[in-house]
Chain A
Amino acid sequence: MKKVRTHQELVALRNSLLENRDPNKPCVRVCISTGCRARGSLDVLQAFRDEVTKQGSGTDVDVKQTGCHGFCERGPVVVIGPKEIFYQGVKPSDVPEVVSKILHNWEVVDRLLYVNPATHQKVLCETEVPFYKMQTRRILANNGRIDPTSILDYIAVGGYQALAKAITAMSGENIIDTVEKSGLRGLGGGGFPTGRKWRSCREAKGNLKFVIGNGDEGDPGAFSDRSLMEANPHSILEGMIIGAYAIGVNQGYLYVRTEYPLALKHLQIAIDQAKECGFLGKGILGSKFDLDIKIIRGGGAFVCGESSALVASIEGKVGEPRAKYIHTVEQGLWNKPTNLNNVKTWACVPLIINNGADWYAKIGTAKCKGTAIFSLVGKVNNTGLIEVPMGTPLKQIIYDIGGGILEDKKFKAVQTGGPSGGCIPEELLDLPVDFDKLTEAGSMMGSGGMIVMDEATCMVDVARYFLDFLQYESCGKCAPCREGVKRMLEIVTNITAGRAKKEDLELLQELAEMVKDFSLCGLGRTSPNTVLSTLKYFRDEYQTHVKDKKCSAGICKDLIEYSILEDKCTGCGACLKLCPQQAIQGEPKNPHTIDPSKCIRCGVCRDACPFEAIMVN
C-alpha cells in the first residue's frame, strides 16, 4: 500500500476504488461479529466463498465479512447487496440455494426472510424490518456494510476524508469550535461537552499531552463499544487522529477490555493499516503532524472504565481512581494533560467534520444533540444494538424497535446505565431518553445498556445483583464505597432471604444516600442508584419481602417453594430423572410430588416439564 500524502491523493484513491467496483454486482455480506460468530457465521462465510467458486466463475458474486448489523437476536445475519435482501438465521446448508438463486435472476429464498410479527408478512430488505426502520443510524451507519479489516473499504465509503479536511483546511481552534457547536457530549455515559474538554486540554500547559480512547466497556448488559470496535475500527481512529491534531497531541492510547478479543484484533489491524497509508505515524497526510496510537489491553476490572483509574492502569498500576479536583485534562497520564473520550464519541468526530456542526445538532433534544446507542437486551423480543435520536421515548424503543416483551409478559421496569444506573418503572415509559432526563429519573445513560425486565423479575433481587457486582468490583480505595456497598448488600441479601426487619429499609436508604454523597469517584457515587431507584419506584416489593416474607416474582429462593400440580402432571417422569437432589417421587403415569426439604429450587424440573405442571409459590 502506497502512503497517501495529500488530500487530493486520498480523493483520487477513493475515486479509483469506486470506479473499480461495479455497484450492480451482487455482494454477500456476512456478519462475523461476536454475536453471529457464536452462532456459526464463520462457517456460513466459508460456505459462501466455496459455493461462489463452485457455482459461478468465482468473480460474479463478491463475498464480504462485515461487523455487527445490530440484530443479534436473528444471527447469523446475511445481507445481499445491492438489493439489500435481508436473510436471518442462515446456516451453511442454506448457502448453495442462496447462491444459486442470486445467480438466477435474483430469486429470493423465502424461508430465510424475516417475518414481521405484527403483520405476519415477510420482509425483503433490512430497511423494512421494524427493528431497523425506526432507527437513525449515524455512528453505526457503516457497521454491516464494510469489511472491518479493510482500510480500502473504509476509504471507499468516504473514510479519512474528514481527517484530510481537518489537516489541510482547518486549524485546531476551528475544529474545536465545530465540535463545540455540534453539541457533542461524551457518549461513554458522563455526557460532558466534548468540545469544552478538548479546549481545556489544548489550553493546558505543557508540550507532552495524550489522547485516550476508552473502550473498556465494563457495564454488564452493554456491548455498543464492542460492536463499534469490531465493525468500524477506522472510524474511531479517524476521530482520535482529528482530536489529537486539534488538541496538539502526538501520542494516543486505546484502552480495550481483555474480554473483547475480536475488537482488539480488528483495532490492531486498523492501526497497522492506517500507519501503512500514512494516516498515523510521522508527517500524517504530508503535514508536520505526527501521531502514534497504541493499544492497551485491560486487565478485567470494571473500575478501569473510570478515567483516572484507566489512566493508572495504563501506567501499569492498580486501577484506583483519584479525587477529581485535579482534572485529567490538566494532569492525567503520567501527570501530563490528557484528553479521554469514549470510542463512540471519537467515532462521531469524523461525521461532524464531514457534515458540519449544524447537521449533527439537527436531531436530538435542546441540550443533547445527535444520536444515542443502546444495547437493547433482557426480556425483550428483539435483542440487539440500536441507534436512535436523543429524546426518543423509552416506549418507542422497547415496543416499536424491541418488539415488546418476551412471551407477551407484562413489562415491569427498564434498567439503563449499568451498575451506575437505576430502574425506570412503567409510569415513566414516555420519558424521552437523553443524558439529563435519565439522570432526573434516577438513572443514567452510562455505556448505553438498556435492560428490559418483565413481571417475572424481582426488583429486590435486581438491586441485590448490582450490589453484588459493585462490592466485587469496588477498588477498595475509599471507605464509603468499599464498606457502604458491602453493608447495603448484606441488608438486601437479608431482605431476599426473608431475614430482614422493618427498620432495615430506612437503614438501607440512609446508607445509600451516604455512599452517594461521600464516595471518591463517579462509579462509587452512582453505585447506590439501583437501590435508590428501586426503593423509590418499587418500595411495595421490598415491603412484601420484609413483612410477608414473599417474593411475588418467584425469584428469591428462600421465599419460594416448588410444587407439582396434580391435575396437570401426567407422571411422565421427565422431572424425576433430572432432579439433582432426588427430591421428586412418584410412580410412572401417576402425579409426582416434590419433597420441599430436599428441594434446592434449581428449577430444572420446571424446565423439563412439558405440561407446565411445576408451580412456584
Chain B
Amino acid sequence: MTENAFEHGEVDKIIESHSHEKSALIAVLQEIENSYGYLPAWTLRQVSEKLEVPLIQVYGVASFYDAFHLTPRGKHLIRVCLGTACYLRGSTRVLEALERELGIKDGETTPDLEFSIQSVRCLGACALAPVTIIDERYFDKMTPTKINSVLKRVQRKNEKS
C-alpha cells in the first residue's frame, strides 16, 4: 500500500471518530486493519502522532494481538482451527496439506498475494471439527484430501467474480 494524502485522510478520519482517545488505540488499529487488510508501517507512525501515544507502545500493541498483521495478506484468508477438538480430529494434517499445496508456511502469504494461511486456536465451532474457514465460509470435517477441491472451488468463484 503506497502512502498518499488520501489514505492519510482515511486514517485521520478513523482516529477522529474515536475522539482522539488514547484508550481507543486497539479499536483504531482494528479499523485500519479492516480497511487495509494489515497495518502498514506508516499508519502506525500516524496513529502514534495523532493519538500522542509513543510509537513503541503502538508497535507493542500491534505486535501483541493476533488480530493485527504487519505485512500484507492474500486476497483469500485461510484460517485453520487448531483448537483442541479440531486438533484431536486431525487439523494439523489439514494445515500441513495446505502448506504443501500452496508452498507457504502457516502465517505466510503466497507471492502472488492470492492466499494467506493462518492457524487459529479455536473458533468455537468444535462440532464441525476439524474446521477450516476460507474468507467467511466454514468448511467442516476437513481432511487433507479435501483441500484440493476446496481450493479449486475458491479459485473458480474468484474467476467468475
**Alpha-carbon gap, A466 to B83, bound state (A):** 10
B15 within 8 A of A: no
**CB proximity of A185 to chain B, nearest CB, Å:** 23
Q: Can you list 8 A-B pairs with a CB-CB distance of less than 8 A?
A: A34-B125, A218-B121, A223-B126, A259-B124, A299-B26, A313-B26, A318-B64, A604-B144
CB neighbours (8 Å) of A298 from chain B are: 67
CB neighbours (8 Å) of B53 from chain A are: 316
CB neighbours (8 Å) of A466 from chain B are: 84
Select which of B96, B100, B126 is within 8 A of A383 by beta carbon.
Answer: B126
B129 within 8 A of A: yes
B120 within 8 A of A: yes
CB-based nearest B residue for A304: B65
Whether B121 and A377, one on each chain, are in contact in the complex, defined by CB atoms closer than 8 angstroms, is no
A316 and B22 in contact, given A223-B124, A377-B129, A451-B84 (Cβ under 8 angstroms): yes
Whether B27 and A608, one on each chain, are in contact in the complex, defined by CB atoms closer than 8 angstroms, is no
Whether A38 and B131, one on each chain, are in contact in the complex, defined by CB atoms closer than 8 angstroms, is yes
Whether B85 and A221, one on each chain, are in contact in the complex, defined by CB atoms closer than 8 angstroms, is yes
8 smallest beta-carbon distances between A and B, as pairs: A299-B65, A72-B127, A38-B138, A300-B66, A223-B124, A220-B83, A220-B122, A221-B84
Interface size class of B (residues with CB under 8 A): 35 or more
**CB proximity of A374 to chain B, nearest CB, Å:** 11
**Alpha-carbon gap, A604 to B120, bound state (A):** 22
Select which of A38, A75, A226, A378 is within 8 A of B85 by beta carbon.
Answer: A378
B128 within 8 A of A: yes
**Alpha-carbon gap, A375 to B124, bound state (A):** 9
A387 within 8 A of B: no
Stretch at the interface among B70-78, B86-94, B109-117: B86-94
Count CB-based A-B contacts (< 8 Å).
Answer: 145
CB neighbours (8 Å) of B83 from chain A are: 220-221
Whether A377 and B67, one on each chain, are in contact in the complex, defined by CB atoms closer than 8 angstroms, is no
Whether A301 and B127, one on each chain, are in contact in the complex, defined by CB atoms closer than 8 angstroms, is no
A317 within 8 A of B: yes
Whether A318 and B145, one on each chain, are in contact in the complex, defined by CB atoms closer than 8 angstroms, is no
**CB proximity of B129 to chain A, nearest CB, Å:** 7
A7 within 8 A of B: no
Whether A218 and B122, one on each chain, are in contact in the complex, defined by CB atoms closer than 8 angstroms, is yes
A126 within 8 A of B: no
Whether B140 and A319, one on each chain, are in contact in the complex, defined by CB atoms closer than 8 angstroms, is no
B9 within 8 A of A: no
Whether A378 and B144, one on each chain, are in contact in the complex, defined by CB atoms closer than 8 angstroms, is no
Give the number of chain A interface residues (Cβ < 8 Å): 59
A453 within 8 A of B: yes
A297 and B30 in contact, given A218-B122, A316-B24, A451-B88 (Cβ under 8 angstroms): yes
CB-based nearest A residue for B18: A316
A301 and B64 in contact, given A449-B84, A603-B93 (Cβ under 8 angstroms): yes
A319 and B65 in contact, given A415-B84, A602-B97 (Cβ under 8 angstroms): yes
B151 within 8 A of A: no
A302 and B64 in contact, given A297-B27, A316-B26, A604-B97 (Cβ under 8 angstroms): no
Q: Mark A579-617, 1 if CB is under 8 A from B, else 0.
A: 010000000000000000000001110011000000000
Whether A465 and B127, one on each chain, are in contact in the complex, defined by CB atoms closer than 8 angstroms, is no
**Alpha-carbon gap, A379 to B97, bound state (A):** 22
CB-based nearest B residue for A226: B124
Select which of B25, B125, B126 is within 8 A of A316 by beta carbon.
Answer: B25
A607 and B124 in contact, given A221-B83, A415-B84 (Cβ under 8 angstroms): no
CB neighbours (8 Å) of B30 from chain A are: 258, 297, 299
**Alpha-carbon gap, A23 to B30, bound state (A):** 45
CB neighbours (8 Å) of A604 from chain B are: 93, 97, 144-145
A378 and B122 in contact, given A258-B67, A604-B144 (Cβ under 8 angstroms): no
Whether B85 and A580, one on each chain, are in contact in the complex, defined by CB atoms closer than 8 angstroms, is no
Select which of A301, A317, A383, A384 is within 8 A of B66 by beta carbon.
Answer: A301
Whether A314 and B23, one on each chain, are in contact in the complex, defined by CB atoms closer than 8 angstroms, is yes
**Alpha-carbon gap, A510 to B44, bound state (A):** 43
**Alpha-carbon gap, A604 to B82, bound state (A):** 18
Quick one: which of A58-92 are within 8 Å of B by CB? Answer: 72-73, 75
CB neighbours (8 Å) of A418 from chain B are: 84
CB neighbours (8 Å) of A226 from chain B are: 124
Q: Mark A495-519, 1 if CB is under 8 A from B, else 0.
A: 0000000000000000000000000
**CB proximity of A67 to chain B, nearest CB, Å:** 13
CB neighbours (8 Å) of B66 from chain A are: 299-301
CB neighbours (8 Å) of B25 from chain A are: 316-317
**Alpha-carbon gap, A313 to B129, bound state (A):** 30
Whether A302 and B84, one on each chain, are in contact in the complex, defined by CB atoms closer than 8 angstroms, is no
Looking at B61, B85, B126, B127, the one whose CB has the most chain A CB atoms below 10 A away is: B127
Q: Mark B1-24, 1 if CB is under 8 A from A, else 0.
A: 000000000000000000001111
Quick one: which of A446-478 are within 8 Å of B by CB? Answer: 449, 451, 453, 457, 465-466, 469, 472-473, 475
A578 within 8 A of B: yes
Whether B61 and A316, one on each chain, are in contact in the complex, defined by CB atoms closer than 8 angstroms, is yes
A607 and B144 in contact, given A221-B84, A377-B85 (Cβ under 8 angstroms): yes
CB-based nearest A residue for B64: A318
CB-based nearest B residue for A384: B127
**CB proximity of B144 to chain A, nearest CB, Å:** 5
**CB proximity of B91 to chain A, nearest CB, Å:** 11
A473 and B121 in contact, given A75-B127, A258-B30 (Cβ under 8 angstroms): yes
**Alpha-carbon gap, A222 to B127, bound state (A):** 11
A132 within 8 A of B: no
Extra pairs beyond A223-B124, A259-B124, A317-B61 (19, CB < 8 Å): A34-B125, A34-B138, A38-B125, A72-B128, A218-B121, A220-B84, A257-B124, A299-B26, A299-B66, A299-B67, A299-B68, A300-B67, A301-B65, A316-B26, A318-B60, A383-B85, A383-B127, A603-B144, A607-B143
B123 within 8 A of A: yes
A465 and B84 in contact, given A38-B125, A301-B66, A384-B127 (Cβ under 8 angstroms): yes
Select which of A217, A469, A475, A578 is within 8 A of B124 by beta carbon.
Answer: A217
